[in-house]
Structure 1
Amino acid sequence: MDEPLLVERRPLPIDGRLGQQLAFLIEVDRLKTVLRASTLAAVDRRENDAEHSWHLALMVPVLAEYADEPIDVGHTIRLVVVHDLVEIYAGDTPIYDDKLRTDQAERELAAADKLFGLLPADQAREFRALWDEFEERRTPEARFAKAIDRLEPNLLNWMAGGGTWLTPGVTADVVRSRTEHIGQASSALGEAMRALITGAERNGWVAAGQQGDPGPA
């Protein structure tokens, strides 16, 4: 979090608003280096945050027809593209890692202040508002964006034959609890998620029963 900005390695010969915007765009290149817990479906390596964000941005228009409330697809794409940027400084917090989740909000708030503060003031407010909207799930777009964010890593878990479902203490009931947001935005996608959990439980890719503490969703 205290590292120098990437642009400081080779300062741009561009001042003013454009200079600030380009410095921000250079800094978010760091997103490509943030590894997530999920592995890719195509090859045996971990997904990075930039790949995750791209996948979400594509899932939104593909799956928008299943939103239970009308959504603005373009606005929803903006939400999913912006929401993980704070992990450049805060790091990824896996959905089933309860230890890291204890201070997630504090880490991400500090990261949001630093990262969005690189932009011109009007855009800093705009991007921070997008991030806050996603976190608070106060709009149909934010609720659907959150649903997609929860669905994507679980699709990868299915393709991995367990993936992060095999984390010690995680059971089918824990997965159901942590993925409730999906059904709250889309009954069809919620039903699909429940089918994945049932199939994973049957295949032995997630522990059955009620072991562990589901914790907050």
Structure 2
Amino acid sequence: MSERIDKIIVFLKEIDKFKEVEREIFLKNRMESDADHAWHLAMFVFLFEKDLPKNLDILKMFKLVLMHDLVEIYAGDTFAFDGEMNKSKKEREKNAAENLFSKLPKDLEEDFHNLFNEWEDAKTKESRISHAFDKAQPMIQNILSDGKTWKKHSVGYERIDEFSKPFFQEDKLLEAIYEKLMREIRGIV
């Protein structure tokens, strides 16, 4: 038991670095961190739980949204519209997952790898809905910052629509969220 506790505490200390990983998303007076992003995604799951299909594993969704970007502690954040960085993203994140998750006790290491792979594969309803929330969250941040990140990178409405829309086709709720956000975005970029 002592070795298990030691490994978990080492891991918890290591993932504290998550708070320091900056995303290419502006808040009012600073850049968003990965921890800010993960917290906000967990709130999406919490707040929309009653509106989601009843057969979903909500605990799994919480786990997915809280852990999916932990690999960025080593791999760094990749801005969605950065074509060059996206070329190496999968490989960087796979290597980071191996390194980071190996610090855990074996059963948790396996759990984290399974969750990470589920996120990456996006084959389950839980992972696809979580992906939609993962796209909606920076849309909200950009609305709040008057499109500051998009304007900095010359990302227009059509490009946002083309990139984001496929993630919101899973469910009527997601479609409604998408339409609401895109109406707000139209007035910004």
For residue 83 of structure 1, what is the aligned residue in structure 2?
68
Q: Does 1:22 align with 2:3?
A: no
CA apart distance, 1:133: 0.5
CA distance in 2, matches of 1:189, 1:44: 29
**How many angstroms apart in 2 are the aligned matches of 1:195 and 1:94?**
23
Q: How does 1:1-217 map to 2 (within 5 A)?
A: 16-40=3-27, 43-67=28-52, 70-201=55-186, 203=187, 205-206=188-189
140-149 vs 183-192, greater mean Cα deviation: 183-192
Moved over 4 A (4+): none
Q: Are the equivalent residues in 1 in contact too, given 2:18–2:34 (CA < 8 A)?
A: yes
Q: Supply the distance in 2 between the matched residues of 1:83 and 1:28 (Cα, whole angstroms).
A: 12
Higher-Rg member (1/2): 1
Q: Given residue 50 of structure 1, which amino acid in structure 2 is its aligned partner?
A: A
What is the TM-score when the length of structure 2 is the normalising length?
0.91
- The alignment yields a C-alpha RMSD, in angstroms, of 1.9
Deviates more, 1:31-40 or 1:59-68: 59-68
Q: Mark the CA change 1:97 to 1:69 in structure 2 (over 3 Å): closer, same or farther.
A: farther
The separation in 2 between residues aligned to 1:58 and 1:143, in whole angstroms, is 17
The separation in 1 between residues aligned to 2:177 and 2:130, in whole angstroms, is 16
Gaps of 5+ in 2: none
Aligned residues: 189
Amino acid in the other structure paired with 1:99: E
Distance between the aligned counterparts of 1:191 and 1:163, measured in 2? 24
Asked if structure 2 preserves the Cα contact closer than 8 Å seen for 1:28 and 1:88, the reply is yes
Contact (CA 8 Å) 2:165, 2:178: kept in 1 or not?
no
CA distance in 2, matches of 1:125, 1:98: 31
* TM-score for the superposition, normalised by structure 1: 0.80
Q: Which has the higher contact order (CA 8 A, sep 6+)?
A: 2
Q: 1:178 to 1:53 in 2, by over 3 A?
A: same
What is the CA distance between 1:175 and its match in structure 2?
A: 0.8
Between 1:62-71 and 1:46-55, the stretch displaced more is 62-71
> For residue 199 of structure 1, what is the amino acid of its counterpart?
E
By how many angstroms is 1:181 displaced? 4.2
More helix by share: 2
Whole-Å separation in 2 of the counterparts to 1:144 and 1:191: 13
